[in-house]
Structure 1
Amino acid sequence: MRLDPERSYDLIGDIHGCANTLERLLDKLGYRKISGVWRHPSRQTIFLGDIVDRGPRIREAVHLVRDMVEVGQAACIMGNHEFNALAWETPAPPGSGRLHVREHSERHTRLIAETLEQFAAYPAEWRELHDWFYQLPLFIDAGRFRAVHACWDDSLITPLRAQFPDGLINEKFLKASAVYGSFANTVFNRLLRGTDMRLPHGLTLTSDDGFTRSFFRTKFWEENPQTYGDIVFQPDALPELAARTPLSELQKNELLQYPSDQPMLFVGHYWRSGKPSAIRSNLACLDYSAVLYGKLVAYRLDQEHRIDANKFVWVDVEKPELPQ
């Protein structure tokens, strides 16, 4: 999907059902609700995905974002949670060894439970939403800047464009992702979930959400890492033994790079904390853990070619976001 690079945009990170907070952020950015839709006289919003799951007002958040997109006030890319919702509902192809593209495991059920519950009384809306998710591109490339939910990988995006020039995938491609190691499977994992690496020495870690993992999320821009601790990019710290373990030369060479001379890239996904800021002059993550009472963050993009530290705007998520 291509946008006018000369226009001004407000890029907004993962919402996860925090509709009240999103309205507060839009108001702070100068948008006003007119005829039921949030609008700005000169700017447009780009949502970085993960509108659904986890939060208290998922249905309201989806309607707000979808209404803005449909009247041309916003664009929205697909996050891994929108993909998860599609994959949850979609039968897997024969021979894949599963019933649905996304297995209905205990962990997956927990992750989508809030969304399914909040749409339970609105089955027709849920079916329509399923179709709308297919209208969310996997990436935006406006030339001067780019947006993807988790990770930009030219080695995947270039052949993906050959099949889907606008980044909009179809059900056939989604079904193909049920086969581990397939091109579709690799695309969704890399672009929507990022890069990862197995913990050394057979170690595991248990995250704050109670899930035990043997893999951890890694940076895709570090230029000269030496240890596992240098490349970790997630809220959960590595076990001390893992963090100080040296990376092999093979591991270093296999790490993905997003060079500093590439266009500005905006991602969500990674649950950052603290004061919003750029990772590098051409890379910013706008996910600051809104649904965990962090911040809902926007970046006000105008005509700059490098990220300006003064153009991050945010609101803190307040306790009233929870149902009363």
Structure 2
Amino acid sequence: MTARRETFFLPYSAGTGEWRQRGQDEGRCNLWQIIPDIHGDNDRLERSLAMAKDARSAFLGDFIDASEKVTAPDDAAVLRRIRTLVENEGAVAVMGNHELNAILYHRRGTDGHPLRKRSDKNAAQHASFLARFGTETPEALDWTDWFLTLPLWLDLGGLRLVHACWSDPHVALVAERRPDARLQAEDLEEIAQESSAFGRAVKTLVSGPEAQLPAGASFLDFGRHRREEVRLAWWRSDARTWRGAVLSVPDPSELPDALLPGDIQATIYPDDAAPVLVGHYKMAGLPELEAANAACLDYPSSPCVYHWRGEPQLLGSNLLIL
């Protein structure tokens, strides 16, 4: 299959900082269904698509690498379905961190070594893809070639999509080199090494921001490992303290009840920015909108989709549980 690189909305103009829509596509779609992480769960994919009705689908990445909770993982079926929708039926999709990890896992650097270590941990995370396609096989390389055609972010003319984090400085930095938001093979080694501002910006967009806690502060994670870095819920525009801005901390009272430093506060998404939807974070509980203009849709135990009709602020009534 030859991948088609059509994008309905030009992602970013590095020169002007403006978002531009292709004139030929204006008014073509009044309803988008935003679908978060599928992770090899074909049943979840088909249930999500069944809710689309007349909506065009927009995928938030992480199509592959099923968890142990997926009873019948089928990365191949998921990928074939999504690729067909993107190439032939007007759907769009952004790259997730699992797609980027797969690209790196199956390619080698100039030193001849894989760009992503093939450790037991990394292989386990990639198990359902490896079971179907193998390592560095022609099929694996074909699919990861297709992953490289996916943009890191999209703007649907009023709604922003990115897998893990929308950060204007990081988007602008990547767009200086790749204004269409698509990576090239020559970018991969510095991304794998996180050896440049460009590489680190790409990782932030697909994996989200983390922050070092103040000196002496730490917490026990869900695996009872003590950590000194935290993941940030950057979409919580009202977050002002460490306890209010973190994710995946079992007991936030372990953290300082102190204001965020200015550089970290600057990563919080402004409450007057365009609405943005992300996946990635494996949120617990029932899906909810934590801000009027930014939300995570990745709730593995209560899968959901969002129907966007052009509203300038996100609406709870458009957040639909499968």
Deviations 1:99-151 (A, max 9, x none): 22222233222211221012239944322101100111000023311000011
- Displacement of 1:199 in angstroms is 4.2
1:10 matched to 2:33? The reply is yes
Evaluate the alpha carbon distance shift between residue 251 and residue 225 of structure 1 in structure 2; reply closer, same or farther with a 3 A threshold: farther
Evaluate the alpha carbon distance shift between residue 165 and residue 117 of structure 1 in structure 2; reply closer, same or farther with a 3 A threshold: same
Distance 2:45 2:210 in 1: 30
Q: What letter corresponds to residue 302 of structure 1 in structure 2?
A: R
The answer for the alignment partner of 2:302 in structure 1 is 295
Evaluate the alpha carbon distance shift between residue 228 and residue 129 of structure 1 in structure 2; reply closer, same or farther with a 3 A threshold: same
- Displacement of 1:76 in angstroms is 1.0
Evaluate the alpha carbon distance shift between residue 100 and residue 259 of structure 1 in structure 2; reply closer, same or farther with a 3 A threshold: same
- Displacement of 1:189 in angstroms is 1.7
1:305 matched to 2:320? The reply is no
1:266 matched to 2:243? The reply is no
Evaluate the alpha carbon distance shift between residue 22 and residue 143 of structure 1 in structure 2; reply closer, same or farther with a 3 A threshold: same
Unaligned runs of 5+ in 2: 1-6, 10-24, 68-72
Q: What letter corresponds to residue 107 of structure 2 in structure 1?
A: T
The answer for the alignment partner of 1:283 in structure 2 is 294
Residue 158 of structure 1 aligns to a residue whose secondary structure is: helix
Q: TM-score, normalised by structure 2?
A: 0.82
1:44 matched to 2:56? The reply is yes
Distance 2:75 2:278 in 1: 21
Distance 1:85 1:77 in 2: 15
Q: TM-score, normalised by structure 1?
A: 0.81
Residue 124 of structure 2 aligns to a residue whose secondary structure is: helix
Deviations 1:37-59 (A, max 9, x none): xxxxx421000000011242222
RMSD in angstroms over aligned alpha carbons?
Answer: 2.6
- Displacement of 1:301 in angstroms is 0.9
1:53 matched to 2:65? The reply is yes
Evaluate the alpha carbon distance shift between residue 275 and residue 73 of structure 1 in structure 2; reply closer, same or farther with a 3 A threshold: same
Q: What letter corresponds to residue 284 of structure 2 in structure 1?
A: S
1:203 matched to 2:210? The reply is no
Which of 254, 262, 267 is equivalent to 1:241?
254
Deviations 1:47-102 (A, max 9, x none): 000001124222211111111111033111100000000011121245xxx92222
Residue 26 of structure 1 aligns to a residue whose secondary structure is: helix
Residue 287 of structure 1 aligns to a residue whose secondary structure is: coil
The answer for the alignment partner of 2:116 in structure 1 is 102
The answer for the alignment partner of 1:218 in structure 2 is 232
| 1:177–1:183 CA contact under 8 A, matched in 2 | no
Residue 58 of structure 2 aligns to a residue whose secondary structure is: strand
- Displacement of 1:197 in angstroms is 1.6
Q: What letter corresponds to residue 295 of structure 1 in structure 2?
A: S
Deviations 1:247-293 (A, max 9, x none): 4645655x40311111110100111133322121111211112xxxx
Using CA pairs below 8 Å that are at least 6 residues apart, which structure has the higher relative contact order? Answer: 1
- Displacement of 1:246 in angstroms is 2.5
Tell me the number of residue pairs that the alignment of Structure 1 and Structure 2 aligns.
Answer: 293
Evaluate the alpha carbon distance shift between residue 156 and residue 239 of structure 1 in structure 2; reply closer, same or farther with a 3 A threshold: closer
Matches within 5 A, 1:53-92: 53-55=65-67, 56-92=73-109
Distance 1:251 1:121 in 2: 41
The answer for the alignment partner of 1:39 in structure 2 is none
Evaluate the alpha carbon distance shift between residue 43 and residue 227 of structure 1 in structure 2; reply closer, same or farther with a 3 A threshold: closer
| 1:93–1:176 CA contact under 8 A, matched in 2 | no
